[in-house]
Structure formats: structure tokens, C-alpha cells
Amino acid sequence: MNLNSNPMTDGLLLIKCQEYLKTLCTDITERCVGSNGNRQATYFLGKELSLCCWETEMIEFDAIDWEENGAQLISEEETFEVLVSPYSLGFRGEGELISASTIEELSEINAKNKIIFLFGEIAREQLMPKNFVFYNPVEHQKIISILESSGAKAIISATGRNAALAGGVYPFPLIEDGDFDIPSVYMTDEEGLKLIPKTGKIVFLESLSKRIPGKGFNVIGKKGNKNSPRIVVTAHIDAKKGTPGAIDNATGVIVLLLLSDLLKDYNGNKLIEIVALNGEDYYAVPGQMNYISANKNNFNSILLNINIDGAGYKEGQSAFSFFNLPDEILQPALKVINHYGGIAEGVQWPQGDHSIFLQYGVPAIAVSSKWFIDNIADQDITHTPKDNIEIVDCNKIVEISHALNDLIRSI
Ligand SMILES: [Zn+2]
């Protein structure tokens, strides 16, 4: 194996990393799917890949962006603090408040023309979007279907913290789904305690929210012989609304960019695909769905997926987590992490695009920051404004890029 990092290239790569970080997180102010910033980020990546002589495709799909201007909830002259659920339709009107804290209660109430208030057990975890195919518990689907047939005018939910499923946000939106058409807002569980006594009373709700149609793209760069076994390196390029998405996942895109440079002269016997999947943090995961349908009869030609998500956090080591690696990939992978002092083997975690490849039987390596994997259940950074360029260590991004370059060349 040729382990080739040297101080000269490291200096250049470090500067590139800092520039890319500025482009993706500062010059472009948001990267949520369907937004202008998201399209700019994909055009930028496409252009850079072409410059490094990768055969580059931009795969277009439909999406929606979303804009909100606050919400208010009033009952008997008392006002309550509420937030607009992402991608919700807007609402203005009043109705009787009807409450439910369990699925049983929800299925028993008559909510026709009323405003439903969900709190407690039923609002414990974010409901998966109705058309989300990967992980969608039966209880979630049941709640969604009861709500959709309830005839309710609007939904208010009170939620706590749930970092594992909703990132570091508090309160988290119970519903985040552009395919679900009952307008909804959400509030903290504490504020919710004050609303419970208003059950049976008339409440007034105004939520200024609108959906805006917009296109999105996956970006795919290829190098090598078309008929060779493939190594697919992925990172999601979108970010949650309201966050610069530095660690989640500008750094992943930057690894793709640095790697595309390091692999510029690659002429091995594999087809290397560099793929920016667009939608990991978006309710409809449109880029992922698009990639799956384009590859559904072709996953067996993929030897390995390397997915970068959450890499480059300033605290702790980088983590390479291995999933079902055959010995001929595991051995070089172990050798690479032994060589680079800042990288260690990480525990397995499922919340990323590598899970798609695993579902199709493709071995995978997930690249992240050890601190984030170890604190996945209680950190308060992901999906918040705290995920900004201040918490990124570019040296780690450069180190990961070298390690992946070495690994890909040795497979
Ligand atoms: Zn992510």
C-alpha cells in the first residue's frame, strides 16, 4: 500500500478545505433541498469535479422549499409560544381544542373541525414522514392515518428532547412532512402543560407558512472503466433548514472534493463513483430515492460504499465504522486507520446513507467523528445553528481524505 501524505500537499489541501468550508457554510447561507443555496452547492460541486476530470452528471428531481413567518396561538386571551412545523401548510382560524396523549385516546376522539393537541407519550418521538420507506414504525403510520382521516383543521403538538431521532433541537417538530396536508405547529412540553386545561375551549391559531416548489440535484462523478466493480463514495450535500450544517454535512462534501483531487490520476481497475446524495436531512429523501431507483438492479456491482457524515469535529478522533467488510477490504482498512493517528475504528451507527447500501447487501464504511457517534443520543449540536464552521478541524478533513485515497487505491 502506498501511504502518501506529505507536508506540501497537506498545506494546499488545508487551504482548500478552509475555502470550501467558507463557500458551503458562509457564502451559501442554506443548503436545504429545494432552496437556491442547495442548488448553488450542487452546481459548485459539479464544477469542481469536472475540473478534476471526473465524468460528471447532475441528476435533477422535484422538491419543495419552505418559508415561514411565525405562528400564534391564543385561547381566552392567553397566548402560547408555538413554532411552525417545517414544510407545513399555513393556517388561520379557530376551533375547539381536543387533546390526546396516546394512540388509543387519539383513535377515540371526534376531532372533526377541531384543533387537535398532541402531548405526552404520543408526542415522544418525531413521526416519520408518511412516504418515508426506510424506517417507519407501525405506530407512526397509525398516528398519521388517524390524523389524516380525523377531519381536524390543524394540529398542535408539545414535545421534549429526542437527540437520537431529531438532533439537538428542543422542542422538536412532531411532524416534518411536506406530503402531510393538515397544518401543524409545535411547542415545548413545558408550554404544553399550560395548554392542557384549554381542552374543550375555543383556540385561535395563525401559522404563516408556505411551500415553494424548487428543483434539486444529485451530483455524480465517475472515473474508471464503466464495466468494473464500483466503489461508491457518498456524502449528503443538503443541510437542515436553519443550520449552516458544517459538520452535518459540509465536511462530508469537502472530503468528496479533496478526494476527487487526490484521485485525479486514478487508473486502477475499479470504477470510482463520487456521489453527493441530496436529501438525507429532508423529509422526502428525494436524492436517495432517485439513486436507489437508478441502481436498483445494479447494487451487486458495488464492492464498497464509503459514506461520510458528521466528520471533522474539533473534539476527539475521526471514526471509521465497518459494516460487513470482507477480509480483502477489512485488512487494508485496518492498516489505514493504524497508519493515521487521528482515526480510530468506531462503533456501528445506522442514521446515515450507508444504511441504504447495507439494505442492498453492499459492505460499507461510515466515516464520522467519534464524539458524535458516542454522544448521538444526547448532543445538542446537530440540526441547530451551533453546527457552524467554528467546530470544524480542517486537519481532520485532510487526514480522512488521505486515508480514503490510500484505501481506495489499495482495494
Ligand atoms: Zn447528516
371, 316 contact by CB (below 8 A): yes
- 177 CB contacts (<8 Å, ≥6 apart)? 87, 127, 129, 130, 283
Gap from CA of 99 to ligand 1 centroid (Å): 34
Report pLDDT digits (tens) over 331-385. 999 999 999 999 999 999 998 999 999 999 999 999 999 999 999 878 889 888 9
For residue 162, the model assigns a pLDDT of 74
Q: What is the DSSP letter of 392?
A: B
Gap from CA of 111 to ligand 1 centroid (Å): 37
Average pLDDT rounded to a whole number, residues 167-196: 94
Gap from CA of 323 to ligand 1 centroid (Å): 18
- Cα–Cα distances (Å) from 222 to 46, 158, 219, 231, in that order, read 11, 46, 10, 10
Choose the weakest-confidence range: 117-121, 137-141, 168-172, 407-411: 168-172
29, 40 contact by CB (below 8 A): no
CA dihedral 377, 381, 383, 389 (to 10 degrees): -140
The pTM for the full model equals 0.89
Gap from CA of 236 to ligand 1 centroid (Å): 7
Gap from CA of 310 to ligand 1 centroid (Å): 6
As a whole number of angstroms, the distance between CA 173 and CA 138 comes to 19
Gap from CA of 264 to ligand 1 centroid (Å): 26
Gap from CA of 22 to ligand 1 centroid (Å): 18
Q: Residue 338 has which C-alpha cell?
A: 493504524
Average pLDDT score, the chain: 95
Gap from CA of 247 to ligand 1 centroid (Å): 8
Q: Is the pLDDT of residue 1 over 50?
A: no
For residue 166, the model assigns a pLDDT of 65
As a whole number of angstroms, the distance between CA 186 and CA 159 comes to 7
- Rounded (10°) angle between helices 7-22 and 394-410: 120
As a whole number of angstroms, the distance between CA 249 and CA 290 comes to 19
For residue 376, the model assigns a pLDDT of 83
How many DSSP H helices and E strands does the chain contain? Answer: 12, 14
- Cα–Cα distances (Å) from 82 to 69, 95, 173, 404, in that order, read 12, 16, 10, 45
Report pLDDT digits (tens) over 265-298. 999 999 999 999 999 999 989 999 999 999 999 9
Q: Which residues are in the CB-under-5-Å shell of ion ligand 1?
A: 248-249, 309
Q: b/e per residue, 263-276, with b = 16+ CB within 10 A?
A: beebebebbbbbbb
- Cα–Cα distances (Å) from 96 to 9, 152, 239, in that order, read 66, 10, 37
CA dihedral 97, 101, 103, 108 (to 10 degrees): -40
22, 246 contact by CB (below 8 A): no
Gap from CA of 303 to ligand 1 centroid (Å): 23
As a whole number of angstroms, the distance between CA 185 and CA 199 comes to 16
Gap from CA of 197 to ligand 1 centroid (Å): 39
As a whole number of angstroms, the distance between CA 229 and CA 7 comes to 33
As a whole number of angstroms, the distance between CA 20 and CA 244 comes to 13
For residue 165, the model assigns a pLDDT of 66
- pLDDT tier, 6 (very low <50, low <70, confident <90, very high otherwise): low
Q: Is the pLDDT of residue 70 over 70?
A: yes
- pLDDT tier, 206 (very low <50, low <70, confident <90, very high otherwise): very high
